[in-house]
Structure 1
Amino acid sequence: MKRIRLVLLLSILLVSCGSSFRSFYNNHKADMGATSFQVPNFMKAVLGNISPEVKNAIGNISDFKYIKFQNTNALKRNTLIDEMNAVTNSGYIDIFRQNEVDNTRIISVVELGAVVTQAIIFNSTPTETTAYYLQGNFDPEKIKSFSDPETFNAFSTDLLQSYNTNLNPSFNPIN
């Protein structure tokens, strides 16, 4: 019983000490079953190849991080949700939150006046957990549109296809 309390206390301490998306990303990017990427400045052109609809939805991006977890058990999924709650409770404003047994969806932002400067878009189902971090200047209504599952899924698919295409160019020995 003491061991469980100690593990729980250490987990809470670790979560409370690292409550930024950067620490969440760095803590989990090497997890088994995780796929992650961030777009450094020299690769911002990659984001220019996204469909016009998605580009219109996200606007001007200065920092972008993505992480996806597949095949996680219930304990790991709950830990990820708890850690994301700690991140979004540290200076973010929830513009959408859905907490259900089979689906947790969070859209939290940092505002500067009427402009969103940071956004976290988090979606967790029993089969997959996905989180995006966007920094730039965004229209709050466009960020809120990601609360629609179809918009979120279309964005994810389009972004991953665009990113993978630009990372894996074909080799043409003639050119």
Structure 2
Amino acid sequence: MKRLVLAIYLLFLLTSCGSSFQGFYNNHKADLGVTSFQVPNFMKSVLSTLSPEIKHSIGNISDLKFIKFDNLNAVKRQSLITEMNAVTNNGYLDVFRKNDPDNTRIISVREAGVVVTDVIIFNSSASQTTAYYLQGNFDPEKIKSFADEDTFNAFSNDVMQHYKMNINPSFNPENQ
């Protein structure tokens, strides 16, 4: 019995230590009620259409992933928060963290010297949970601005609007 408990504990420890945002994204992108996208290299022009205010606040983006969960029950929401904690505990530094029963907001970064290279912005409320992963070269002070709910919401709305405007759901040239 002790061996079984030890084996389960070791398995949990090994899987939680190897957590990444890509793993989190891959594990949940097909969940019911989820909206997700990642911007592949051939669609980098989408990133250049962000509003000047948002581009100024975040800087140079080379990779963007987004995932949004709607209609979560309390258990699933807590599970997502726990998973995101495992991801951000894997080489990230918290710039901002707010853990309230009604709202959990996490902004975690990886740095290379004085430049932020990776950013995770996670926001979870009773009505919805969203997570962004940004890779590029960012000014740390500008990343801190996402702790403000209005800045975060403006960024989310701008990215979603521009992404929807710049995708073509049909790869068939006759359906354009």
User: TM-score interval w.r.t. the shorter chain?
Assistant: 0.7 to 0.9
Corresponding residue for residue 137 of structure 2:
137
Aligned residues between the structures: 166
Q: What is the TM-score of this pair, normalised by structure 2?
A: 0.88
Alpha-carbon displacement from aligned partner over 1:1-51 (angstroms, at most 9, x marks no partner) = xxxx9xx96994585154100000000000001100000111110111111
- Structure 2: runs of 5+ lacking an equivalent: none
Alpha-carbon displacement from aligned partner over 1:60-119 (angstroms, at most 9, x marks no partner) = 111110000000100000000000000000100001000000000000000111100000
| 1:41-52 pair list within 5 angstroms | 41-52=41-52
Mapped partners of 1:101, 1:112: distance in 2? 33
Corresponding residue for residue 76 of structure 2:
76
Cα distance 1:151–1:15, how it changes in 2: closer, same or farther (>3 A)? farther
Identity %: 68
Corresponding residue for residue 104 of structure 2:
104
Q: CA deviation at 1:128?
A: 0.4
Mapped partners of 2:11, 2:123: distance in 1? 22
- SS for the counterpart of 1:84 is helix
Code of the residue aligned with 1:69 in structure 2: it is: F
- Structure 1: runs of 5+ lacking an equivalent: none
Corresponding residue for residue 126 of structure 1:
126
Cα distance 1:10–1:142, how it changes in 2: closer, same or farther (>3 A)? same
Code of the residue aligned with 1:155 in structure 2: it is: F
Code of the residue aligned with 1:43 in structure 2: it is: M
Coordinate RMSD, CA, aligned: 2.2
Mapped partners of 2:83, 2:44: distance in 1? 28
Q: What is the TM-score of this pair, normalised by structure 1?
A: 0.88
Alpha-carbon contact 2:93-2:109 (below 8 Å) kept = yes
Mapped partners of 1:12, 1:96: distance in 2? 27
Alpha-carbon contact 1:104-1:125 (below 8 Å) kept = yes
